[in-house]
């Protein structure tokens, strides 16, 4: 079978490339090496051969085996008719197959859309339809949920999805295992081309897709591995979902594979499972979100597991309180690293040689000398060091546009290509960033992002609802939870009923509002917009412990 490569010059519809002068600069500076993921994995297999790359619940895979399995699976995908640039929605838990599938698709030049295990019908159906995905890859079951039931619904809603491929028992679908064939001649992929899609936390009505290229992503991986001093003795525990940008590349699984180390895949982030792995595999580095950090700290006080191998605990995804940060070294006997990143690109790390107060109180500084960071006021004018403003950024691994989102891109990016992160930050004289808040209409529920408008649209679909506004309310454990203010048409429905309605629409659980407040009318600002500040204040007051 002959399959033609997609020529590099052929533009990929819906993808905004870096301007030619920037691309040239990034290549000259040695950031973009012109290497694809397929080549990168092959080079690792040559170099690290029989060393163990991946450790899962059921399987251990060497570098050589991973490389071979990826090629065999790529051949299987090709046999199904999957072609370069075809989109494939991948929704897998932390299992070895996640990496086999991604690398197989990379090798083929087909594009994984990295969904999270928590996503449900609403999200997956949208990803499949929006990207016109040809296939959907799932596990049979995870955490008591049967993904094959979800897949059946997706098939009915997204006619482009020709194949459902299952890691485990396939049921009515195709077993992934059956696809590993003889290696076949594969089309050439281009390093400047899109390699896969990450998902944006978002602030708009529908989730946004983030196209990442081989060149730009591999740069962020290599540079992150270097900052974190990873080497062939590093053992990384993927405790958070493997598909998330933090776990995948900051430096995450890919950073550890870059260095020849070992990636250990934990199905759950809970201390009972994670600590077992840390002891058993002598894990040296892992990454958590702040609420999980607090849970681990508590559990570590009287664990029977030996956690002494841990050298580095990374915390990111939402703001870490200084109080929790201070307890890390004493409890785990390891270094804390704060990580402030985003799937769109920019990642900041505190460095090992930063003074203790910088590690405790800041969210780090950018990876690259060529990460351009601006902190600006509402009129895009730069503010002074130490003042709070909007964070804008562009650089060698920050996207220039969301996938197929021309109108939105005009708002989300400046005319000269800076990404408007929606984060409010302050820069210290040392160039570190401190996250002070958020201007985007999003709730950060312990690292899980909820776009207010997306949920409001779902609530508005309820026949008894006239108006709705979702805001964050403070929460001691998660940092924030979500509260929806609902204006009913006539008789307000029971809160329970609204929640059931949202679940039935197939929303991921973490997006279901934690609280529902019925209100006669939404407060408006002088220009007639919903006054979310007032709503946030109102709910914060209402739930504050009495006497404060
Ligand atoms: C990571 O990526 P996303 O895409 O899920 O979320 C990005 C947003 C940031 O814009 C910011 O609002 C928030 O999450 N965030 C933080 C933070 N890290 C992320 N807010 C305060 N402190 C932090 N340390 O969350 C992500 C991607 C790569 C590495 C780490 C996190």
Q: Among all chains, which residue has been given the structure tokens 């000269």?
A: 416
- pTM of this prediction exceeds 0.95: yes
Measured distance CA(381)–CA(386) in Å, rounded: 15
Q: Please work out whether the CB of residue 251 comes within 6 Å of at least one atom of ligand 1.
A: no
Question: Is the shortest distance between the CB of 347 and ligand 1 below 6 Å?
Answer: yes
Is the CB–ligand 1 distance for residue 392 below 6 Å?
Answer: no
pLDDT for res 5: 53
| pLDDT reported for residue 6 | 55
Nearest Cα residue to atom 20 of ligand 1: 318
In a domain, 161, yes or no: yes
> Predicted confidence band at 203 (pLDDT cuts at 50, 70, 90)?
confident
Residue 152 lies in a domain: yes
pLDDT digits over 249-281, tens only? 999 999 999 999 999 999 999 999 999 999 999
Domain membership flag for residue 280? no
CB environment 278-288: b (16+ within 10 A), e (fewer): bbebebbbbbb
What local confidence, expressed as pLDDT, does residue 93 receive? Answer: 98
Is the CB of residue 449 below 6 angstroms from any atom belonging to ligand 1?
Answer: yes
- Final residue in a domain of this structure, among 189, 224, 247: 189
342 domain residue, yes or no: no
Distance (Å) from CA 438 to ligand 1 centroid: 11
Lowest mean pLDDT among 24-38, 151-165, 176-190, 410-424: 176-190
Q: Tell me what pLDDT residue 475 has.
A: 97
Overall average pLDDT of the 359-377 stretch: 98
Q: What is the domain-level CATH number for residue 506?
A: 3.30.300.30
Question: For residue 73, how far is its CA from the centre of ligand 1 (angstroms)?
Answer: 33
pLDDT band for position 7 (cuts 50, 70, 90): low
Residue 511 belongs to a domain: yes
In this structure, what CATH number is given to the domain that contains residue 101? Answer: 3.40.50.980
- Distance between CA 223 and CA 214 in Å, rounded? 14
* pLDDT band, residue 545 (cuts 50/70/90): confident
Distance 425 CA to ligand 1 centre (A): 12
Number of domains in the chain: 2
Helix axes 63-80, 37-48, angle to 10 degrees: 150
Our answer on whether the CB atom of 72 is closer than 6 Å to any ligand 1 atom is: no
* Of the residues 158, 189, 220, the one at which a domain ends: 189
**Residue 303 within any structural domain of the chain:** no
What is the extent of the structural domain holding 518? 442-543
Question: What is the CB-side half-sphere exposure of residue 385 using CA atoms within 13 A?
Answer: 5
Least reliable range by pLDDT among 178-187, 398-407, 419-428, 446-455: 178-187
Higher-confidence position of 441 and 547? 441
In the beta sheet, which residues pair with residue 288?
315
302-355 pLDDT, tens per residue? 999 999 999 999 999 999 999 999 999 999 999 999 999 999 999 999 999 999
Q: Given pLDDT bands bounded at 50, 70 and 90, which one contains residue 1? A: very low
pLDDT surpassing 70 at residue 547: no
- Give the integer Cα–Cα distance in Å for 513 and 499: 8
- Mean pLDDT score of the chain: 96
Q: Is residue 214 part of a domain?
A: no
Residue 5's closest CA among 192, 176, 137, 210? 192
Whether the pLDDT of residue 289 is over 70: the answer is yes
Residue at 237 is within a domain: no
Q: How much distance in Å is there from the Cα of 202 to the middle of ligand 1?
A: 12
Last-in-domain residue among 171, 189, 207: 189
Q: What DSSP string describes 411-422?
A: HHB-TTS-EEEE
């Amino acid at each position: 079978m002959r399959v033609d490569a997609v020529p590099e010059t052929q533009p990929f519809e819906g993808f905004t490339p870096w301007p030619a002068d920037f691309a040239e600069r990034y290549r000259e500076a040695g950031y973009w090496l012109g290497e694809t993921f397929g080549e990168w994995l092959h080079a690792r297999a040559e170099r690290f051969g029989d060393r163990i790359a991946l450790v899962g619940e059921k399987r251990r895979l060497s570098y050589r085996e991973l490389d071979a399995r990826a090629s065999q699976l790529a051949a299987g995908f090709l046999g199904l008719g999957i072609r370069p640039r075809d989109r494939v929605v991948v929704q897998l838990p932390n299992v070895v197959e996640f990496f086999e599938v991604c690398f197989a698709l990379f090798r083929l030049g087909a594009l994984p859309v990295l969904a999270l295990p928590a996503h449900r019908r609403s999200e997956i159906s949208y990803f499949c339809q929006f990207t016109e995905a040809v296939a959907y890859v799932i596990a049979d079951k995870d955490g008591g949920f049967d993904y094959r039931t979800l897949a059946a619904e997706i098939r009915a809603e997204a006619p482009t999805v020709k194949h459902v491929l299952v890691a485990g028992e396939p049921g009515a679908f195709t077993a992934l295992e059956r696809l590993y064939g003889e290696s076949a001649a594969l089309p050439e992929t281009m390093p400047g081309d899109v390699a896969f899609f990450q998902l944006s936390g978002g602030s708009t009505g529908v989730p946004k897709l983030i196209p990442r290229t081989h060149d730009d992503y591999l740069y962020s991986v290599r540079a992150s591995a270097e900052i974190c001093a990873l080497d062939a003795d590093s053992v990384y525990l993927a405790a958070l979902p493997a598909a998330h940008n933090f776990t995948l590349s900051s430096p995450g699984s890919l950073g550890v594979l870059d260095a020849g180390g070992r990636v250990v895949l934990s199905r759950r982030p809970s201390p009972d499972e994670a600590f077992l792995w840390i002891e058993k595999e002598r894990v040296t580095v892992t990454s958590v979100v702040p609420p999980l950090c607090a849970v681990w700290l508590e559990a570590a006080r009287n664990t029977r597991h030996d956690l002494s191998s841990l050298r580095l605990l990374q915390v990111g995804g939402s703001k870490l309180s200084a109080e929790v940060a201070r307890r890390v070294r004493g409890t785990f006997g390891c270094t804390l690293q704060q990580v402030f990143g985003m799937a769109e690109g920019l990642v900041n790390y505190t460095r090992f040689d930063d003074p203790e107060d910088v590690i405790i109180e800041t969210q780090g500084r950018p990876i690259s000398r060529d990460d351009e960071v601006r902190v600006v006021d509402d009129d895009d004018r730069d503010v002074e060091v130490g003042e709070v403003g909007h964070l804008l950024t562009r650089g060698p691994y920050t996207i220039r546009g969301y996938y197929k989102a021309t109108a939105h891109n005009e708002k989300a990016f400046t005319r000269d290509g800076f990404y408007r992160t929606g984060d409010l930050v302050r820069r210290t004289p040392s160039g570190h960033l401190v996250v002070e808040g958020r201007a985007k209409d999003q709730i950060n529920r312990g690292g899980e992002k909820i776009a207010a408008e997306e949920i409001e649209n779902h609530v508005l679909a309820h026949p008894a609802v006239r108006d709705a506004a979702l805001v964050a309310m403070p929460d001691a454990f998660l940092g924030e939870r979500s509260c929806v203010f609902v204006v009913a048409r006539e008789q307000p429905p029971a809160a329970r009923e609204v929640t059931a309605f949202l679940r039935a629409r197939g929303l991921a659980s973490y997006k279901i509002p934690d609280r529902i407040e019925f209100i006669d009318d939404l407060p408006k600002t002088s220009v007639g917009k919903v006054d979310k500040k007032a709503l946030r204040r109102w709910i914060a007051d209402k739930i504050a412990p009495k006497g404060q």
